[in-house]
Amino acid sequence: MKYIHIFIFLFPFLLSAQDFPVKPSNYITDDANIFSDEQERLLNAKLKRFEDSTTNQIFVYISPSLNGKDLTSHSQDIFHSWKIGQGDKNNGILISIFIDDHKFRIHTGYGLEGVLPDIVTKHIQDNDMRPLFKQNQYYEGIDKGVDQLIYYSKHEFKTDNSSEESSSGLYIFFYIFSAAFLLITFLLARKINDKPTAKKVIIISSIICFIIPFIGTFILLMMIFIALSYRKDLLKTRSTSTWSSSSDSSWSSSDSSLSSSDSDSGSSFDGGGGGDSGGGGSSSDW
C-alpha cells in the first residue's frame, strides 16, 4: 500500500515530465520518424539558409503523441527550453506536430508576432499544411508551411545594415564622379578664351551637374565611353581560346563549390540563440 500511495502522489509529476530533447540536434527534430534522411537533410538545409540570410530561426518538432498535455503550453515549454530565435530579437518560430493526436501548432516568438499574427499562422495551417497532413503527406505539408513562414517573415530582420551602407556608398560614388566631371569641365573652360558666353555656359552646367550628381555621373560616363570608342586598341579582348579555357575552368570550379556548399548546408547547427515567446501563434488539427 505504501508504494501505491507514493505512485499516486507522483503520478501527476510523471505525466508532466519533459518528454522532448533538452536541446535539438538540428532544425528538424523527428521523434516520430516520419522523414527519410534525404527529406530531413533538405529541410535542415533550407532552414539553415533562412537563418543565415535573416537571423530568424524556424525549428520543427515532430512527436508521436502529446501524452495528454495541452498543445499550447507544451509548445511553449519546448520553445522556452530550446530558446528559439535570437536573444535580442526573439525572432523564432516553432512548428510542433503530434502525429497520433492529429494536432499541430505554429508558435511564434515576441519579435515575429507583428509579421506573423495569429490570423496569418492559422491561414498557413488550414490552407497550406492541413490538407496535405490529411493525406499523410507530412513532409510536403511541413515544407509548404515553412515556405509560407519564410515568405512572411524573411524581411522582418536583417543580419546587418548592408542596404543602408550600400545606398550611402552609391551616393558617394555619384558625388565622386560628379566632382571629377566638374574638375574636367573647369580645366576645359580655362582654355576657352575667345568665347566667354560658351565658357560661362560650360561652367554653370558643370556646377548644376555637381549639385545633381546623377546627371554629372551620366555625362562623365558618356564622355569616357566616347573617348574609349576612339581608342579601339584599349577595347581589344583576349583571344577566343584563352577566354574559352578560363571560362570553362571558372564554371567547373563554381559548380564544384556550389555542390559542396549544398551538401554541407544544414550540417552546422548552433541551436537556439536565446529567444523566447509570449505564447503567440495558432493551433490546428487534421
C-alpha cell at 55: 537571423
Quick check: 263 pLDDT over 50? no
Quick check: 242 pLDDT over 50? no
Does the reported pTM lie above 0.85?
Answer: no
Quick check: 208 pLDDT over 80? no
47-51, 136-140, 170-174: range with lowest mean pLDDT: 170-174
216 phi and psi, to 5 degrees?
Answer: -60, -40
Collect all residues with Cβ–Cβ distance below 8 Å to 269 and sequence separation of at least 6.
24, 25, 26, 27, 44, 48
Predicted pLDDT at 168: 59
Across 78-89, average pLDDT? 93
Predicted pLDDT at 169: 62
Strands (E) across 64-112 are located at 92-98, 103-108
C-alpha cell at 127: 490552407
- How far apart, in whole angstroms, are the C-alpha atoms of residue 73 and residue 94? 13
Predicted pLDDT at 198: 65
Across 186-211, average pLDDT? 67
Predicted pLDDT at 159: 42
CA dihedral 266, 268, 271, 272 (to 10 degrees): -70
